[in-house]
Amino acid sequence: MRLHDLKPQPGAKHRRKRLGRGEGSGLGKTSGRGHKGQRSRSGGTIREGFEGGQMPLHRRLPKRGFNNANHTIYFIPVNVEDLETFESGAVVDLESLRKAGLAQGKGQGVKILGQGELSKKLTIQVQAFSASAKQKIETAGGVCEVVARIPKTGPRAL
């Protein structure tokens, strides 16, 4: 098979609707917009959540009280098996994990999880460890050091 032999599956491609090309096309005259009304006009769109002037749902609902999402702690997960990329005896912290491409995204720090095995002796300085990860690291002769969480300034900030 060569590149010029490739073609899409039957039914994967559809013809573009050609609006306003005569009555015989089935999409002439009003071009599928119906008769009159806001949506038949050019530029006639209504914003998302608009309810025709009625008080919209997002304004009707109360916004007082406790919201648990404001108090969640979000850690960037890194598995024990990912730590095999580091040399034996290395000190692994947030910066070294970022350089290795293992801790991407935002959060209040990194949590080491216990998936996989570790054969190297490492000193790991992160914000949290799972129980199984801690056991695997210490079994391999490594050290687990918990450092302070990064303060949260916005949603999932790091």
> Is the pLDDT confidence value at 66 over 90?
no
d(CA 50, CA 138): 58
Instruction: Parse the chain into domains and list their residue ranges.
Output: 18-64, 70-146
Q: How confident is the model at residue 122 (pLDDT cuts 50, 70, 90)?
A: very high
Start-to-end CA span in the chain (Å): 48
**pTM across the whole model:** 0.58
Token pair 């002769």 is found at 141
Q: For residues 157 and 102, which has the higher predicted lDDT (pLDDT)?
A: 102
Beta bridge partners, 125, equal: 145
- pLDDT the model gives residue 105: 86
Question: pLDDT by residue (tens digit) across 3-62?
Answer: 999 999 999 999 999 999 999 999 999 999 999 999 999 998 999 999 999 999 999 998
Question: pLDDT by residue (tens digit) across 131-154?
Answer: 999 999 999 999 999 998 887 765
Q: How confident is the model at residue 72 (pLDDT cuts 50, 70, 90)?
A: confident
- pLDDT the model gives residue 21: 94
> The CATH number of 70-146 is which of 3.100.10.10, 3.30.470.10, 3.40.50.720, 3.40.50.300?
3.100.10.10
Q: Are 94 and 110 in contact (CB under 8 A)?
A: yes
d(CA 15, CA 11): 10
> Is the pLDDT confidence value at 120 over 80?
yes
d(CA 18, CA 51): 31
- pLDDT the model gives residue 12: 95
